[in-house]
Structure 1
Amino acid sequence: MSQVIEVDGLRKSFGRREVLHGIGFGVERGEVFGVIGPNGAGKTTTMRCLLDIIRPTSGSIRILGQDPGVAGPKLRRRIGYLPGELFLEQRITGRRLLAHYAAISGTVRPGRADELAERFNLDLDRHTRKLSKGNKQKLGLVQAFMHDPEVLILDEPTSGLDPLIQQEFRSLLSEVQRNGQTVFLSSHVLSEVQQAADRVAILRDGDIVRIASVANLREGAHRQIRISVTGVSPAELEVLLRDVPGLQTNHVHATGTLTDVSATHEGAIQPLIRALAPLQLADLVIEEPDLEESVLTLYGSATKHLAVDSGAGGRTQR
């Protein structure tokens, strides 16, 4: 696959304050690439540089093989964009507003806007001033997707959406990915990126901490493990598990004929399974890590602004 987005040494300063410190990454064709970080990490600044809304201080950007700083409107028509702060004309219906966007963005196949509006349960004949935050966000998503762009750049795309519409959005992402479209999205909600993205860039204070697949990030987190075996004493079991890479035994105790172990494990699971294979297992519980723990570890003290749950009633760290 060829790279649709190429960023190298991207720096952006506002006055004396540098907010992007020479970041670089590439996004493959047909990939959903997520950028995650707390508010102020540089996610929106990166996106605005990609779209030539603001100019980089230094570094290079290429989208679909072109420099957005010189390619002009012809390139932008091949991109769908949802800003993080969506401002809509108030004295107009959603339908008329989409017609205005279509005149700018290019050809929209007949019925496409209505199809998307139906999926998002959005009434296009209501005036935008009467729309809730969630419905305004839906309208923004429709305008981003309706002309079937080759690249979608979406800043906090599920902000204000209820869980059912978030699920529909993820379904739409899967469809456009199968069509070969490329998606670059940002979020400060870990579970959103975990469910939607193929790869994730962790952005912290204007630097990329790590780029990895969701699976690789999970491998860097600790699994919680509980083991119950028969016919082995606590001391014998500790000796058997001592050389398993990445295994940290927390507690071992015997209850009748059973020996129970609680432990944490990091890395490949196969060595642990091989070590347990000769034993008489009564129970084995392996709690797979999610993206949250790995990212929180990478962030350290910066996590105070990083949301760790999504959906109604989700908890956040502030």
Structure 2
Amino acid sequence: MNIIEINSLTKYYGKSIGIEDVNLKVFEGEIFGFIGPNGAGKSTTIRLLLNLIYPSKGSAKIFGKDVIEHGPEIREKIGYLPSEIFYYEKMKVKELLNYSASFYKGDHRKRIKDLSEIMELDLDRKIEDLSYGNKKKVGIVQGLLHEPKLIILDEPTSGLDPLMQQKFFDIIREENEKGATVFFSSHILSEVQELCNRVAIIRKGNIIEVEDIKTLRENNYKKVLIIGENLNKEIFNIDGISNLEKGDDEISLFYKGDINKMISIINKINVKDVVIEEPTLEEVFMHYYR
């Protein structure tokens, strides 16, 4: 089952493009990464999914239901953490969370207490006295207190220290194991690499790749470093090579294709050392943006 289904979704802001002809499917039970730099269209896509803004054209469904026609019903089952957190400054944390919980059926007091203990969040402090990182913790608890079936995270770890980030990742993994689907938007690629099953790369409002993490890193590209004297970069003039750089005694490049072709070229030259390895997701990502 597709938890999220986006078809030709487009949003224009006057003459500017927010996103254009975005098509995407997120499967039930997966942790799906949505990556791109600031301004690429990540938050616009999320706001359209949540029916906070209206599309210029196209459509989106969550749980098989149109997000505009069934917005309130859908949002009851969604936990959302926005990239920017704004709250009623004079309220205490527990007052805010209890108020948020009142919008959902059931008693969520134990859930609030348990999540707050994990995130080391003081429920008796006022919002105005919290640091940005602690306000982000409030947002995490608020987004998860009703045990949503779909968790949408927009740059969720900004402001969190490394220890809290790991605790947050553990919570997300646990929710996923219990059946929640996660849509994880970030520009911090190491986070996506650690958590996600599949990833979509968005560039200037357009999806340029949707792939599983393993395939994206391992099968598509290899990072090659050749060390030797009098190396001639012209010998590497074959399809599939990009990001070729020549130093004094080395050549580095990205290669997509049959690795045997690359090895046959290397065998023709006198080298001191050769390193062929999987690029990090960040290196693959930067390749798409060059």
Query: For the superposition of Structure 1 and Structure 2, which TM-score range results when normalised by the shorter chain?
Result: 0.7 to 0.9
Paired with 1:213 and 1:171, the residues of 2 have a C-alpha distance of 21
Partner of 1:220: 220
Partner of 1:288: 278
Partner of 1:50: 49
Alignment of 1:272-311 (within 5 A): 287-300=277-290
Paired with 1:168 and 1:123, the residues of 2 have a C-alpha distance of 16
1:284–1:51 CA distance, 2 compared to 1 (3 A): same
Partner of 1:144: 143
- Counterpart code for 1:92: M
- Counterpart code for 2:174: E
Residues 52, 68 of structure 1: 8 Å contact kept: yes
Paired with 1:293 and 1:153, the residues of 2 have a C-alpha distance of 25
Partner of 1:101: 100
C-alpha displacement of 1:171? 1.2
Query: 1:41 aligned to 2:40?
Result: yes
Paired with 1:268 and 1:109, the residues of 2 have a C-alpha distance of 53
Residues 222, 277 of structure 2: 8 Å contact kept: no
Alignment of 1:7-86 (within 5 A): 7-86=6-85
Structure 2: gaps of 5 or more residues: 230-235, 265-272
C-alpha displacement of 1:60? 1.1
- Counterpart code for 1:105: Y
Helix, strand or coil for the counterpart of 1:70?
Answer: coil
Helix, strand or coil for the counterpart of 2:65?
Answer: coil
Query: 1:133 aligned to 2:123?
Result: no
Paired with 1:13 and 1:269, the residues of 2 have a C-alpha distance of 41
- Counterpart code for 1:294: V
Residues 108, 146 of structure 1: 8 Å contact kept: no
CA offset digits 1:194-243 (Å, max 9, x no partner) = 1121111111111111111111221333334679xxxxxx9xxxxxxx9x
Paired with 2:67 and 2:105, the residues of 1 have a C-alpha distance of 17
Residues 76, 105 of structure 1: 8 Å contact kept: no
C-alpha displacement of 1:86? 1.0
Residues 50, 71 of structure 2: 8 Å contact kept: no
Residues 5, 27 of structure 1: 8 Å contact kept: yes
Query: 1:121 aligned to 2:112?
Result: no
Helix, strand or coil for the counterpart of 2:5?
Answer: strand
Alignment length, in residue pairs? 281
Calculate the aligned-residue CA RMSD, in Å: 3.3
Paired with 1:55 and 1:265, the residues of 2 have a C-alpha distance of 40
CA offset digits 1:16-58 (Å, max 9, x no partner) = 3232111110000011111111111111110000000001111
- Counterpart code for 2:220: G
What TM-score results when the alignment is normalised by the length of structure 2? Answer: 0.84
**Which has the higher Rg, Structure 1 or Structure 2?**
1
- Counterpart code for 2:134: N
Moved over 2 A (4+): 15-18, 105-110, 219-227, 245-251, 261-272, 283-288
- Counterpart code for 1:166: Q
1:63–1:118 CA distance, 2 compared to 1 (3 A): same
